[in-house]
Chains A and B, each alone.
Chain A
Amino acid sequence: MSYANWRPRAKALVWLAQFSVVVAVLLWITLAKPLTLNSDLSAIFQTNQHGELATLKQQIEQQGVKTQIVLVGQPSLAQAIVASDKLAQQLSQLPGIVNVTHIYDKMPSAAKIAKQNLPFSQLLLSDSFKKLLEAGDGQAIYNHQFSMLNQLANPYVGLTLEQDKTLAMADYLSRSFLPSSGLSLEAERLVARDNGMTYVLVLFETQASGLNVNQSQALVEKITELKQQGDSDIVYTGAIFYASEASKTGQFEMTLFSTLSMAFMLVLVMASYRQLNSLLSTIWVIAVSGLYGYCALSLCFDEVSVVALIFAITLIGISADYSFHGLSELRFNRVNRLSPLANIERSLTLSYFTTAAGYVVLLLAPFELFKQVALFTIAGLLGAYLTVTLLYPWLAFKRGQSPVAIPAYIARINQFHQRLNQRLSLTKMVLPVALVVLIGLIASGQVNDDVRSFYSVSATITDNEARVKSILSQRTEMQYILVEGDTAQQVLTREEQVTTMLDDLRQNDALQQYSAITQWLPSITSQRNNLALLTKAQTSGLFNQIQALLGPIKLNLEPRDYLTPEHWFNTNLGAIFKSQWLVQDTKYYSVVRLAGINDLAKISQQFSGLEHIHWVDKAGEISSQVGQFRESLLYIILAAMAAALAVFAQRFGVKLACYAIASPAVALIIALGLSMMFQGNLSIFNLIAGVLILALGLDYSVFYAEHGFEKTITITTLMSALSSIAVFAILMLSSMPAIKSFGLTVFIGVCVVFILAPQVTKIPHRNKHES
Chain B
Amino acid sequence: MRSLCLLLLLTLVGVTATAQTQDDELSLSELGFSQGVGEFTQHKYFKFLSKPIVSNGAFVVAGQDLLWQTSRPVFSQILLKEDAIYRRLNQEQPFELLVKGSQINQLLSAVLTGNIKAKDWTITTNTPLCFELVPLQAQMSQLFSHVNLCKTGDASRQVTLFDPQDNKTIIMMTLTSNQLTPAERSSLELR
Contact = CB atoms under 8 A, between A and B. Distances in A.
Interface in B76-112: 76, 78, 82-83, 85, 87, 89, 97-104, 108, 112
Given A181-B100, A186-B103, A152 B108 contact: yes
Interface in B13-57: 42, 44, 46, 48-49, 53, 55
Contacts of A183: 100-101
Given A147-B89, A158-B46, A191-B101, A186 B164 contact: no
Contacts of A153: 85, 99, 104, 108, 143-144, 161
B12 to A, nearest CB: 29
Nearest to B55: A150
B161 A152 contact: yes
A158 B163 contact: yes
A494 interface: no
Contacts of A110: 142
A13 interface: no
Contacts of B98: 174
B139 interface: yes
Interface stretch (B66-74, B149-157, B181-189): B66-74
A146 B73 contact: yes
Given A143-B74, A146-B73, A193-B102, A155 B143 contact: yes
Would you call the interface of chain A mostly helix, strand, loop, or mixed? mixed
Given A147-B76, A150-B53, A551-B49, A185 B83 contact: no
A163 to B, nearest CB: 10
Nearest to B169: A152
B61 to A, nearest CB: 14
A10 interface: no
B137 A187 contact: yes
Nearest to A128: B96
A150 B97 contact: no
A595 to B, nearest CB: 14
Contacts of A551: 49
Given A109-B142, A143-B74, A158-B167, A149 B53 contact: yes
Given A143-B75, A151-B78, A551-B49, A182 B55 contact: no
Contacts of A473: 100
A615 B169 CA distance: 49
A150 B44 contact: yes
A655 to B, nearest CB: 77
Nearest to B97: A181
Contacts of B139: 185-187
Interface string A329-344: 0000000000000000
Interface in A161-194: 161-162, 174, 176, 178, 181-188, 191, 193
B176 interface: no
A218 interface: no
Contacts of A404: none
Interface in A111-160: 111, 142-144, 146-147, 149-153, 155, 158-159
A168 to B, nearest CB: 17
Contact of B101 (A109, A143, A162, A186): A186
A158 B44 CA distance: 11
A186 B137 contact: yes
Nearest to A139: B74
A429 interface: no
A186 B75 CA distance: 31
B126 interface: no
A549 interface: yes
B74 A158 contact: no
A155 B104 CA distance: 12
Given A110-B142, A111-B142, A150-B44, A143 B89 contact: yes
Contacts of A364: none
Contacts of A23: none
Contacts of A433: none
Contacts of B78: 151-152
A111 B142 CA distance: 8
Contacts of B55: 146, 150
A716 to B, nearest CB: 70
B76 A111 contact: no
Nearest to B168: A158
A147 B143 contact: no
A155 B100 contact: no
A184 B103 contact: yes
Contacts of A109: 142
Contacts of B142: 109-111, 155
A550 interface: yes
A144 B99 CA distance: 17
**Residues of A in contact with B, size category:** 35 or more
B87 A147 contact: yes
A111 B164 contact: yes
Nearest to B46: A161
Contact of A162 (B48, B83, B104): B48
Contacts of B42: 150
Contacts of B167: 158
A362 B97 CA distance: 53
A473 B46 CA distance: 36
A532 B163 CA distance: 33
Nearest to B83: A193
A150 B76 contact: yes
A151 B76 CA distance: 10
A176 B76 contact: no
Nearest to A187: B137
Given A191-B101, A549-B53, A149 B137 contact: no
Contacts of B169: 152
A151 B55 CA distance: 11
Interface in A530-573: 549-551
A190 to B, nearest CB: 10
B99 to A, nearest CB: 7
B179 interface: no
A133 to B, nearest CB: 16
Nearest to A180: B100
Interface in A502-538: none
Contact of B70 (A150, A159, A161, A174): A150
A153 B107 CA distance: 10
A153 B141 CA distance: 11
A181 B84 CA distance: 10
B74 A142 contact: yes
A297 to B, nearest CB: 50
B48 A155 contact: no
A184 B84 CA distance: 10
A181 B97 CA distance: 9
Nearest to A152: B108
B165 interface: yes
Nearest to B101: A184
B117 to A, nearest CB: 12
Contacts of A188: 138
Contacts of B144: 153
Contact of B100 (A144, A151, A174, A184): A184
- Specify which of A142, A149, A158 lies most central, judged by the most chain B CB atoms within 10 Å of its CB: A158
B144 to A, nearest CB: 8
Contacts of B161: 152-153
B53 A185 contact: no
Contacts of B102: 184, 186, 191, 193
Interface in A438-479: 473
Nearest to A194: B83
Contacts of B104: 153, 184
12 contacts: A149-B53, A151-B78, A152-B78, A152-B169, A153-B143, A153-B161, A155-B164, A158-B46, A183-B101, A193-B82, A193-B102, A549-B53
Closest A-B pairs by Cβ, 9 of them: A184-B101, A147-B76, A146-B74, A158-B165, A186-B103, A158-B163, A153-B143, A110-B142, A158-B167
Given A110-B142, A186-B101, 16 more contacts: A109-B142, A142-B74, A147-B70, A150-B55, A152-B68, A152-B112, A153-B143, A158-B46, A162-B46, A162-B48, A176-B100, A183-B100, A184-B102, A184-B103, A186-B137, A191-B101
